Structure 1
Amino acid sequence: MTLENHLRRIAFGDPGESTATPDHRIAGTASGARTDRECWLAAVVLGARGRYAAATTLLRRLRHSRDVVIASLAASTIASHRRQLGGHAAALPADGAALAAVAGLPLVPAAGESVAGVDADSADRNAADGDAAGRNTAGRNAVAGQGPATGTDAVGIAADADGVDVAGAWADALLGLAADQLALGRPALARRLVGEVTAGLDAAFGNGGGSVRSRVRAAWVGAEAALAGGDPATAVASAEAALHLLRSGSRATPVRHRAKTELVLAAALLAAGSDPARAAELVASALTVIDAHGFASLSWPARLLAAETDPAGADEHRRRATREVHALLPRVDPELRRLAVESPWVPV
C-alpha cells in the first residue's frame, strides 16, 4: 500500500485503521509524508487528533503548492481548524483564498485528464479574473471547459472518492464560507452557499453525484444553517440524509465523518424536541468512536453535547470538555491558542 493510500485510510476511511494504530505511530506515519498530496493528508490526520501546530506547519507551506487543488484544500483546512477553536471570523480570509485558488476550473475534467491536481499556471489561465470569493461560482465552475456532465451523461465520470480534486476543493471552500457566515449571524447567506454547492455538484456529476465527503459536509452545514434559521425539522432531515449516505456507501464508512454526523443529528433532534432518547444514543455512539480513534478535535464538543443529552452527568461532561481543551492547548500554534482563549464557545 502506498503512503498516500495509507494516509487516506487513516484520514477518511477504514474503520479499523486508526484504532489499530496508536497515536504516536500515526504521527510517525504522517512525518513520512513527502509529496504535497501526502502532506495535506498528513495535516488532516494530525488536525483530527488535535495536533494543530504540527498540522499548521504543513498547511502553511502547502498554501503555496503548485498543485492548486492542494493549495485550495490547505487553505480550507487552515480555516476549518480556526473554526474548530472558535475563530470563524479569522477563517474567512483562508476560505476566500481557497475558493480563489480553484476559480474558473471545470469541476469535471475533460476526457483523458486527471480529476486530481491542476498546475498553478493552468489555473491562472482559467481564472484570470482572480477574485472569486463572493461571486456565484457554482454555475461558472460547472460549465467551464467542456461543460458539466448531468443526468445520464455523467455515467463513467467520477469524482475523487475523498474529494481530493477540483470539485472537492471548490465544495470545501464554499462550505467553509457558509460555516463562517453562520457564526457571523447570516444563516440565509449560508443556506444560499450550501445550495450553490449542491447545484454545482449535481450539474457536474448528476443528482447526488460527486464525492461522499463533499455531500456529507454540505448536509452538515445545511443542518447547521437550518438550526440557525429556526428550522429544526429541516436540520433533522438534512442530518438524517447525511447519515443515510454514509451508511449506504459502497466504501468503508469514514468513521470521523460518521461520528460528526451523529453529533449534528443529535443536536438537531434536541432542537426539534422530537426524540431525546435517540439523541442521547447518537452522542454515546459518537463518543465511542471519538475515544477509540483519538479524535481530539471532536471530543470536547461531543462532551458539551453529552451534557445536554445526559442531565444527570452534565457537570462531569462539562468538566471533562474543559480538561480536554486544556490538554489540546500545548499542541496548538499561537494564533489558534489566541482564538480559543478569546472564543465564547470554547470552554477554556
Structure 2
Amino acid sequence: MEEELRRAAFGDSPGLDVWRALSATSPRARWLAAVVLGGQGHYAAAATALDALRHDPDPVIASLSFSTRASHLRQLGLHRLARPLDGAALARAPQTGPEDPDGIDAEGARTDALLGLAADSLGAQRLGEARRLLARVETRSWRGEVRKGWVTAEIELASNQPERAVAPAERAHATATSRKALRHELKSALVLGTSLVVWGTPDGLNRGVELVECELNHSASERLKPLIWPSALVLAGHAPTVGAAAIDRATEALSCVLRRADAVSRQVALESPWVPSGLLRSGEPPNADPQTNFLTD
C-alpha cells in the first residue's frame, strides 16, 4: 500500500483514489493519504486525519502532520492560522533519524516546518523574516529542494523582483520533472509560468502563458482543484483569448475547494485577502492577486 500511496503523493498518480487508506493501521500510510487528499482539495477529510496524527508517537509523522495541515490552511489563504501549526511542527521535528528518499524523515520534517514558517511570514508581508527563515533551510531531499524553490520564487515575486524568481522556479521545475513527481511538476510549472509572465519579457511572457495553460489543463485532468483556480486567474490576466473561459474554470474550482473544507476554514477563507472570493459573487472582481497566491505544498 505504501508504494502506491507514495506514487500518489510524490509520483505520477496524484489523482489516485486513496480514501480507503485513511483507515490503514500505518500512521505513515494515513499521512500519505492526507497529503494526496489535500492535493485534490479534500481539505476537511485531510484535516481529520492530520489532526489525529499530530499526537502520533513517531515525532516525524507528528511534525509532518502539523506542517501539512498548515500547508492546506495556506492554500485557503489562512496564513495566520497556519503559523502556530508550523511552529509546532518545528518544535516536534527530531534532530536525527533514518533518511527517507521523499523526505519523510527528521530533515524533511524540519525543512517542511521552516519553509512553512517562511511562507506564513510572506503571507503576512514580513519579507525580511521570510528570507531569514528560508536561509535556515538545509535539505538533501528532492522534495525539500522543490519546495524551497517555490518559496524562494514567491519571496522574490512579493519583493517585486520577478527576474530573480525565475531561476529558483526553473530549478524546482527541473527537479520535479526529473523525479516524475507530477503534482510537484505541475505546481512548479505554475510558479515558473507566473514568474515569467510577471517579469514580462516578450519571450518569457509567451513561454509563461504556455506553461500555465498546459499546467491548468493537466491539473484539471488529474482533478487537482487547488492548482486550477490560481492558474486560471493568471491566464485571465495575461492571455485575453482564454480570459472568460479561465474565469469560469477558476470559479468552479474555487467553489469546489471551499465546499470540501471544514466550516470554520471555509468562513475564514471567504474573508481572507488571499482568496479571490469575488469570483463567487457575480459581477464582483476578485479581491486577491493570483500572481502571489500559490503558497501550497
Q: Please say whether Structure 1 and Structure 2 have the same fold, judged by a TM-score greater than 0.5.
A: yes
Task: Report if aligned partners of 2:5, 2:18 keep a CA contact under 8 Å in 1.
Answer: no
Work out whether 1:272 is the aligned partner of 2:199: yes
Could you tell me which residue of structure 2 aligns to residue 339 of structure 1? 268
Aligned partner of residue 136 in structure 2, secondary structure: helix
Amino acid at match of 1:321: A
Deviating beyond 4 angstroms after TM superposition, the runs of 4 or more aligned structure 1 residues are none
Could you tell me which residue of structure 2 aligns to residue 170 of structure 1? 110
State the Cα distance separating 1:18 from its structure 2 match.
4.5
| 1:291-302 pair list within 5 angstroms | 291-302=220-231
Could you tell me which residue of structure 2 aligns to residue 118 of structure 1? none
Amino acid at match of 1:180: D
State the Cα distance separating 1:64 from its structure 2 match.
0.6
| 1:225-264 pair list within 5 angstroms | 225-247=155-177, 249=178, 252-264=179-191
Task: Report if aligned partners of 2:14, 2:182 keep a CA contact under 8 Å in 1.
Answer: no
| 1:91-110 pair list within 5 angstroms | 91-102=82-93, 105-106=95-96, 109=97
In structure 2, C-alpha distance between the alignment counterparts of 1:89 and 1:18, rounded to whole Å: 28
TM-score (norm 1): 0.76
Aligned partner of residue 162 in structure 1, secondary structure: coil
In structure 2, C-alpha distance between the alignment counterparts of 1:322 and 1:18, rounded to whole Å: 22
Task: Report if aligned partners of 1:30, 1:45 keep a CA contact under 8 Å in 2.
Answer: no
Q: Which whole-Å deviations, capped at 9, do the CAs of 1:210-249 have from their partners, x for residues lacking one?
A: 11000010010001011111221210111011122233x4
Aligned sequence identity (%):
45
In structure 2, C-alpha distance between the alignment counterparts of 1:42 and 1:313, rounded to whole Å: 34
Could you tell me which residue of structure 1 aligns to residue 7 of structure 2? 9
Gaps of 5+ in 1: 110-114, 116-158, 202-209
Amino acid at match of 2:22: S
In structure 2, C-alpha distance between the alignment counterparts of 1:328 and 1:43, rounded to whole Å: 15
Aligned partner of residue 41 in structure 1, secondary structure: helix
In structure 1, C-alpha distance between the alignment counterparts of 2:175 and 2:31, rounded to whole Å: 25
State the Cα distance separating 1:97 from its structure 2 match.
0.3
In structure 2, C-alpha distance between the alignment counterparts of 1:309 and 1:51, rounded to whole Å: 29
State the Cα distance separating 1:323 from its structure 2 match.
2.2
Work out whether 1:313 is the aligned partner of 2:261: no
Gaps of 5+ in 2: 278-297
Q: Which whole-Å deviations, capped at 9, do the CAs of 1:99-120 have from their partners, x for residues lacking one?
A: 00015x13xx4xxxxx1xxxxx
TM-score (norm 2): 0.88
In structure 2, C-alpha distance between the alignment counterparts of 1:39 and 1:237, rounded to whole Å: 35
Amino acid at match of 2:41: G
Tell me which protein shows more helix as a share of its residues: 2
Superposition RMSD on alpha carbons, in Å? 1.6
Could you tell me which residue of structure 1 aligns to residue 146 of structure 2? 216
Aligned partner of residue 65 in structure 1, secondary structure: coil
Larger Rg, first or second structure (1 or 2)? 1
Amino acid at match of 1:196: R
| 1:80-91 pair list within 5 angstroms | 80-91=71-82
